[in-house]
Amino acid sequence: MSYPVTELSTWRALERHAQGLKQCSLRELFADYPERGHWFAIDGAGICLDYSKNIVNEETMRLLIQLADERFFAQRRAAMFGGEVINHSEGRAALHIALRAPRDAVIMTEGRNVVPDVHAVLDRMRAFAEQIRDGSWTGASGKTIRHIVNVGIGGSYLGPEMAYQALRSYRKRGLDVRFIANIDGAEFVEAIADIHPAETLFIVSSKTFTTLETMTNAYQARQWIVAALGEKAVAQHFVAVPTNPDAVRAFGIAPEQTFGFWDWVGGRYSMDSAIGLSTMIAVGPEQFEQMLAGFRAMDEHFTHAPMEQNLPVILGLLSIWNNNFLGAETLAILPYAHDLRRLPAYLQQLQMESNGKHVGEHGEPLTQQTCPIIWGEPGTDGQHSFYQMLHQGTRLIPCDLIGFCQPLSDLAEHHDLLMANLFAQAEALAFGKSAAELRAEGVAEEQIPFRACAGNHPSNVILAEALTPATLGALIALYEHSVFIQGIIWGIDSFDQWGVELSKVLAGKIVEDIRTDTVDGLNHDSSTNALLSRYLRHKTTRPRG
Ligand code: F6P
């Protein structure tokens, strides 16, 4: 049984410290320490984190780092990198860092160096990706593959889709990647609406190769291919990315077309494994390697940088501070990059599936909040929808604003305007607009309450040179490790996800009820029974319209 973090004297010192800091404004903090913009900014793996606009001072950071020390952060980091079983409830290591380890690294888990296994799969992925890209891998009728459809959900979808959008300017033209995740047939129908089976390759991405959504969509895709090209075409038009190769054989995909990964890779930590095959095909093996190098650079920074200069450590501890000590309930992810528009969705799974836990790693009830709600939209879009609440709402909503110094398009003027908005938002969130300033500008007295912005909304600015594959890798590893340190502070298992199982089982039972097509014998609560009855009365097997 691990000691509850809330009982540590450092936790209590942070609570007392927070009471004092809650009385301060960011205006005051900057006035007291005009250089904080320099002192509370750190660099690593090509990324700058300016956290000066958080409601913190040096004492806050000292106490947070002390808290991490008292939770044995260094030992736990070593345990993760050393391949120890740190996912206790599933009895596994959490070794996503091995996915980007250099070829000559040695990372042992359960008596086996996993690095050669990782590189063997990467080598096969490279060869296959090149065959698709140069046209030497054709469909069954000899046509060039022009469409890749990744069938997968959760970690087998969110990372690849996010990366596909993020690396838009590195993609090979004329080869598009689509994604089918949802069990809603609408997504399947839309994905294949304007493509031809002869030019399409499906990547069935599923760690377990049993997930209802993925297997339903994969068999639908199989039917679509077979109807057009015959049974034998399955071999040319499907590849699989599983940890369970036996299930793949039953589907008709040969071992040569199977790119495996391992149970020590969590789904939400898998975008740099074979789950990233669609990314590699889209951007090419070299750019994929650049992405891995970015991940690796952040891993090294996380391992070696001192705590106070360590980006994932500081990002994670600030989240703890805002959540557990200042009472924030959410964290807004605001990428100022259209190409990163799927980052909030990706980080939702990464953080909420990892740290949305109510018991400690030994099953003990927790006495503090865990993961904040992660949400967000790209800037500047969000500015014209929910930012009103960020500036003048009643809740404390910390924000991560993510931007880049260089555009990836020729529209440099657009980029300046985009980044001006990022900087302006961080400034406005922190310092607001006071009644006195409005008065000095001649604003009518009765307008002042509506126009004043209190400021004091914490934000991080995460700034990098450009959204390259290496930057993307470093950015994702930054968040991965910040999730890890938060889990350590809370004393939870960040690598299991039992909470998603219950409703899967219930859905299985309800499907049986629906298939009987009668309301007789419905045996749920009155609400579920009534909803099911209504559904059965109104459902139709034919499309509407
Ligand atoms: O239901 C949650 C989950 O298990 C995620 O953790 C995972 O990323 C997703 O489902 C997909 O699982 P699989 O890759 O096994 O199909």
Q: Is the CB of 156 under 6 A from ligand 1?
A: yes
CB 201 within 8 A of CB 147: yes
57-113 per-position pLDDT tens digit: 999 999 999 999 999 999 999 999 999 999 999 999 999 999 999 999 999 999 999
367 contacts: CB under 8 Å, gap ≥ 6? 4, 6, 7
Around 395, how many Cα atoms within 13 Å sit in the side-chain half-sphere? 15
Q: What is the arithmetic mean of pLDDT over 316-324?
A: 98
**Which residue CA neighbors atom 9 of ligand 1 most closely?**
154
CB 132 within 8 A of CB 145: yes
Q: Is the CB of 150 under 6 A from ligand 1?
A: no
Given this model, what pLDDT does residue 3 score?
81
**The one catalytic residue among 38, 384, 538, 539:** 384
Residue type, 280: M
- CA of 154 from ligand 1 middle (Å) equals 5
Does residue 117 carry a pLDDT above 60? yes
DSSP character at residue 350: I
Which ligand 1 atom is at minimum distance from the Cα of 501? 1
Which ligand 1 atom is at minimum distance from the Cα of 214? 16
**Which residue CA neighbors atom 16 of ligand 1 most closely?**
206
- CA of 262 from ligand 1 middle (Å) equals 13
SS3 content of the chain, % helix, strand, coil (to 5): 55, 10, 35
Residue 504 among the catalytic residues: yes
Does residue 137 carry a pLDDT above 90? yes
Share of the chain above pLDDT 90, in %: 95
Does residue 217 carry a pLDDT above 70? yes
Mean pLDDT, rounded, of the chain:
96
Given this model, what pLDDT does residue 480 score?
98
CA-CA-CA-CA dihedral for 319, 325, 326, 332, to nearest 10 = 20
**The one catalytic residue among 213, 353, 377, 480:** 353
- CA of 155 from ligand 1 middle (Å) equals 6
Residue 143 among the catalytic residues: no
| pTM, two decimal places | 0.97
Q: Is the CB of 273 under 6 A from ligand 1?
A: no
Q: Which H helix or E strand runs over 333? A: strand 330-335
344-402 per-position pLDDT tens digit: 999 999 999 999 999 999 999 999 999 999 999 999 999 999 999 999 999 999 999 99
Q: Is the CB of 113 under 6 A from ligand 1?
A: no
Residue 384 among the catalytic residues: yes
Does residue 543 carry a pLDDT above 90? no
- CA of 372 from ligand 1 middle (Å) equals 21
Q: What is the arithmetic mean of pLDDT over 238-250?
A: 91
- For residue 310, report the phi and psi dihedrals to the nearest 5 degrees: -95, 110
Given this model, what pLDDT does residue 439 score?
97
**Which residue CA neighbors atom 6 of ligand 1 most closely?**
267
254-264 per-position pLDDT tens digit: 999 999 999 99
Given this model, what pLDDT does residue 545 score?
63
Which ligand 1 atom is at minimum distance from the Cα of 270? 8
Residue type, 32: D
337 contacts: CB under 8 Å, gap ≥ 6? 166, 378, 402, 403, 404, 418, 467
| Paired tokens of 452 | 């004043």
Does residue 32 carry a pLDDT above 80? yes
422-466 per-position pLDDT tens digit: 999 999 999 999 999 999 999 999 999 999 999 999 999 999 999
Q: Is the CB of 144 under 6 A from ligand 1?
A: no
Q: Is the CB of 107 under 6 A from ligand 1?
A: no
Given this model, what pLDDT does residue 96 score?
98
Does residue 1 carry a pLDDT above 60? no
Q: Give the whole-angstrom CA distance, residue 347 versus residue 103.
A: 28
Share of the chain above pLDDT 70, in %: 99
- CA of 213 from ligand 1 middle (Å) equals 10
Q: Is the CB of 153 under 6 A from ligand 1?
A: yes
Which ligand 1 atom is at minimum distance from the Cα of 211? 16
- CA of 498 from ligand 1 middle (Å) equals 11
Q: Is the CB of 500 under 6 A from ligand 1?
A: yes
